[in-house]
A and B are shown apart, each in its own frame.
Chain A
Amino acid sequence: MRLDNTDRQLINLYQRELPVCERPYEEMSRKLGIAEGEVIERLQSLQDSQVLSRVGPVFEHSRAGASLLAAVAAPEEQMDLVAARINRAPGVNHNYAREHTYNLWFVMTAPDEDTLEERLDDLEHKLRLPMLRLPMVEGYHIDLGFDIDWEALP
Chain B
Amino acid sequence: MSISTSRSEPGYVLCKLDRQLILATQGGLPLVPDPWGTLGMELGLPADEVLARFQRMQDAGVIRRVAAVPDHYRLGYRFNGMTVWDVHDDAISDMGRRVGELPFVSHCYRRPRHLPYWRYNLFAMVHGTSREEVEDKASQIKAVIGDTSEGHTILYSSAILKKTGLRLRKS
**Which A residues lie at the B interface, using CB under 8 A?**
1, 10-11, 14-18, 20-26, 36-37, 40, 43-44, 46-47, 49-69, 83, 86-87, 95-100, 102, 104-105, 112-113, 130, 132-148, 152-154
Contacts and interface: CB of A to CB of B under 8 A. Distances in A.
Of A22, A40, A132, most buried by chain B (CB within 10 Å of CB) is A22
Q: Would you call the interface of chain A mostly helix, strand, loop, or mixed?
A: mixed
Contact of B66 (A43, A56, A69, A112): A56
Nearest to A111: B19
A152 B134 CA distance: 13
Given A87-B163, A97-B161, A14 B67 contact: yes
A50 B71 CA distance: 7
A134 B66 contact: no
A137 B112 contact: yes
Contacts of B101: 141
B67 A58 contact: yes
A17 B67 contact: yes
Contacts of B14: 64
Interface of B is mostly: mixed
B96 A138 contact: yes
21 contacts: A11-B70, A14-B68, A15-B70, A20-B54, A20-B58, A24-B66, A40-B32, A46-B68, A50-B74, A65-B8, A83-B161, A83-B166, A95-B162, A97-B161, A98-B155, A113-B5, A132-B117, A135-B112, A147-B103, A148-B70, A153-B75
A55 B68 contact: yes
B68 A24 contact: no
A22 B161 CA distance: 37
